[in-house]
């Protein structure tokens, strides 16, 4: 009896003639995520991807845990692969699912027979398997509506698969299937969640962080790296660019009206982010903005910020409240890191009374006091690159 992992890819089934392209990308992502755990073979079998470990795989628990975070997977199960013989199937169900059946009070059997040459039909398979398990586990009762465990028997072309309840996958689309985008990440609660949500829609992430030493500490930068490590457990490897922003913020403080500090700063960030995004073949920027959350995220303020952008700006949190964002941050394990008290550059020189209804002409007039192009050029030249992995042995691939 061999143990395998069965992958259901959900949304990819709707991709028509392009389906195989998406499936190939999903397999590539799964293969990269399992780097360091041994060797695995991947095969497509009638709407299911079968992951078969080779002899050197010793930690199936870790392999399964990692695959649970791969976008593009709707559901997955650990399964026993056995010969297509009914006696073998019955013994395998008893042995492989024994611990779960002992812990359950009720069960039912589901059977699928894609190999029509198998002598028993699905109803007969269910009947025989159910009767056999009742004879071995006397405490069990059949409940076809709400069982504690579902015993699944799948008769495929190459083997029979036996597994219990399917585990819900990460969903979404395979990372990379929708292109690349640059995530502006500060260190707060919102931006890691925004990155996670857009990676779920198939975007490969590039990170951009603005650092302002000595106003921001090295610990703030380390905090961002830790946040991206959590996101990378879902998105795969992330290239992070750290932009020196101190001089720009000091120039804004010395030359621009205080009520516009934050908005001028954000416009400078977007200009720099676009340059990095273009260099990294990113087709969009991602921010964690939500309408009305702070003064710089009113509709007029967002319009003024976006006015300097020539590429789309994705704001997946735009209509969410803080409780909803926090719930996702807890799910992906970023919340406790986000609330660590290491301030980012967005809190530097915060105006006491920020303008909530700015206009583009007003900001353009304020920016005339800055020598914008040289400041941007200097900041871009000073960028540092850090490679972020979700797991220590992640396959690095291409930068």
**Model confidence band, residue 393 (pLDDT cutoffs 50, 70, 90):** low
The CATH-assigned architecture of domain 2-168 is 2-Layer Sandwich (3.30)
Query: How far is it, in rounded angstroms, from Cα 113 to Cα 89?
Result: 13
For 54-127, where are the E strands, in sequence order?
75-82, 106-113
Query: How far is it, in rounded angstroms, from Cα 382 to Cα 345?
Result: 16
Beta-carbon contacts of residue 263 (< 8 Å; ≥ 6 apart): 296, 301, 304, 305, 354, 355, 358, 363
Annotated domain spans of the chain: 2-168, 180-388
Q: Which two tokens stand for residue 237?
A: 């490897």
Torsion sign across C-alpha atoms 32, 33, 39, 41: negative
Q: What percent of the chain has pLDDT over 90?
A: 82
3-state class of 283 per DSSP?
coil
The dihedral region occupied by 393, where left means phi > 0, alpha psi between -120 and 50, and beta the remainder, is: alpha
Distances (CA, A) of 257 to 262, 265, 290, 349: 10, 12, 25, 12
> Omega into 108 within 30° of 0, i.e. cis?
no
Q: What is the pTM of this model?
A: 0.91
141-168: pLDDT as tens digits: 999 999 999 999 999 988 999 999 999 9
Please name the residue that has the structure tokens 């006397």.
138
pLDDT of residue 344: 76
Mean of the pLDDT values across residues 355-377? 95
pLDDT of residue 1: 81
4 forms bridges with which residues in the sheet?
A: 79
Distances (CA, A) of 70 to 40, 183, 365: 16, 19, 47
CATH 3.40.50.620 for domain 180-388, yes or no, is: yes
88-103: pLDDT as tens digits: 999 999 999 999 999 9
Largest Cα–Cα separation, the chain: 85
Which helix H or strand E contains 67, and what residues bound it?
helix 60-67
- For residue 398, pLDDT over 60 is answered with no
């Amino acid at each position: 009896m061999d143990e395998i992992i069965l992958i259901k890819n959900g949304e990819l089934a709707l991709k028509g003639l392009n389906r195989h392209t998406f499936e190939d990308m999903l397999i590539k992502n799964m293969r990269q995520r399992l780097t360091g755990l041994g060797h695995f073979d991947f095969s497509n079998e009638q709407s299911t991807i079968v992951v078969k470990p080779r002899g050197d795989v010793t930690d199936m628990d870790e392999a399964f845990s990692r695959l649970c975070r791969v976008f593009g997977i709707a559901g997955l199960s650990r399964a026993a692969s056995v010969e297509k013989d009914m006696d073998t199937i019955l013994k395998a169900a008893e042995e492989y699912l024994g611990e779960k059946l002992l812990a359950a009070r009720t069960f039912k059997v589901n059977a699928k027979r894609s190999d029509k040459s198998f002598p028993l039909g699905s109803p007969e398979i269910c009947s025989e398997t159910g009767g056999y398990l009742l004879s071995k586990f006397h405490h069990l009762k059949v409940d076809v509506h709400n069982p504690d465990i579902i015993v699944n028997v799948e008769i495929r072309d190459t083997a029979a698969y036996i597994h219990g309840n399917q585990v819900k996958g990460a969903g979404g689309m395979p990372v990379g299937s929708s292109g690349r985008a640059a995530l502006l990440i500060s260190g707060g609660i919102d931006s890691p969640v925004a990155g996670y949500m857009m990676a779920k829609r198939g975007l490969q992430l590039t990170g951009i962080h603005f650092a302002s030493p000595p106003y921001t500490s090295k610990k703030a930068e380390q905090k961002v790296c830790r946040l991206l490590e959590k996101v990378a457990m879902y998105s795969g490897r992330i290239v992070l660019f750290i932009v020196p922003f101190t001089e720009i913020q000091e120039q804004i403080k010395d030359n621009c009206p205080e009520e516009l500090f934050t908005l001028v700063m954000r416009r400078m960030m977007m200009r720099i982010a676009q340059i990095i995004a273009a260099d990294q073949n990113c087709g969009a920027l991602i921010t964690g903005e939500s309408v009305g959350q702070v003064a710089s995220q009113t509709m007029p303020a967002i319009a003024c910020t976006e006015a300097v952008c020539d590429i789309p700006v994705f704001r997946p949190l735009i209509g969410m409240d803080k409780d909803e964002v926090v719930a996702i941050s807890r799910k992906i394990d970023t919340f406790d890191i986000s609330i660590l008290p290491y301030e980012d550059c967005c809190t530097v020189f915060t105006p006491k009374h920020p303008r909530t209804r700015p206009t583009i002409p007003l900001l353009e007039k304020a920016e005339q006091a800055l020598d914008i192009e040289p400041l941007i050029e200097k900041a871009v030249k000073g960028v540092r690159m850090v490679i972020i992995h979700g797991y220590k042995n992640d396959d690095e691939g291409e930068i």
